[in-house]
Amino acid sequence: MFDQLESLSSQDQSPPAELIARNIAIKARVVEEDEQETSGTRALLNFGHTIGHGIEASVAYGTFLHGEAISLGIRAALILSEEYSSLSQQDSQRVLDLLKAYQLPLTLDSSIKTEVVLEKMKRDKKFSGGSINFVLLSKLGSAFVSKEVTWDSIESTIEALREV
């Protein structure tokens, strides 16, 4: 599906209906397989959401569309995937290029304070017992949940989002 998105014209900001339907079917299958969120499979749908939700909760309602905040969260998850997993810089760049093509934000405004984002993240359902569940990529199309990501790494990653 990622290859299909890359092949679309950046001028046409509306993915084809069959691609949207395929995406919905995949998400529905994952939710159905892990309806009670017990196996961890459903958590994979949260790629980009950990820091993205923290950013979204740090600003006034309506400042970001949900997808815009998650775009920033995806960039953060890519940085952490390179640090904690085997995701290549080339694969990260492919994702970033696609987000850029769809005019999604990739740079965090300096008015959004790192401490506030971290505080908001601690209220998220993915935070438990002092650690946070983080969805990382080992390669495109292969995600896993990690409890190894440190708060120091999360903080430095949020700071890195301010850089172009």
Domain presence at residue 35: no
Evaluate whether 155 touches 122 at the Cβ level (below 8 Å). no
- Tell me the pTM: 0.90
SS3 assignment for the chain: CHHHHHHCCCCCCCCCHHHHHHHHHHHHHHHHHCCCCCCCCHHHHHCCHHHHHHHHHCCCCCCCCHHHHHHHHHHHHHHHHHHHCCCCHHHHHHHHHHHHHCCCCCCCCCCCCHHHHHHHHCCCCCEECCEECEEEEEECCEEEEECCCCHHHHHHHHHHCCCC
Q: What is the CATH number of the domain that holds 116?
A: 1.20.1090.10
Domain presence at residue 36: no
Domain presence at residue 152: yes
Distance separating alpha carbons of residues 144 and 22, to the nearest angstrom: 21
Q: How many domains does the chain have?
A: 1
Q: What is the pLDDT of residue 55?
A: 97
Distance separating alpha carbons of residues 54 and 115, to the nearest angstrom: 10
Which residue ranges in the chain fall short of pLDDT 70? 10, 13, 38-39, 125-130
Q: Which residues pair with 143 in a beta bridge?
A: 137
What range defines the domain where residue 113 resides?
Answer: 42-160
Domain presence at residue 79: yes
Domain presence at residue 37: no
Q: For residue range 119-130, list pLDDT tens digits in order.
A: 999 887 666 666
Other beta carbons within 10 angstroms of residue 69's beta carbon come to 25
Q: For residue range 53-73, list pLDDT tens digits in order.
A: 999 999 999 999 999 999 999
Domain presence at residue 96: yes
Domain presence at residue 86: yes
CA distances (Å), 29 to each of 20, 36, 41, 77, 140, in order?
Answer: 14, 13, 10, 23, 19
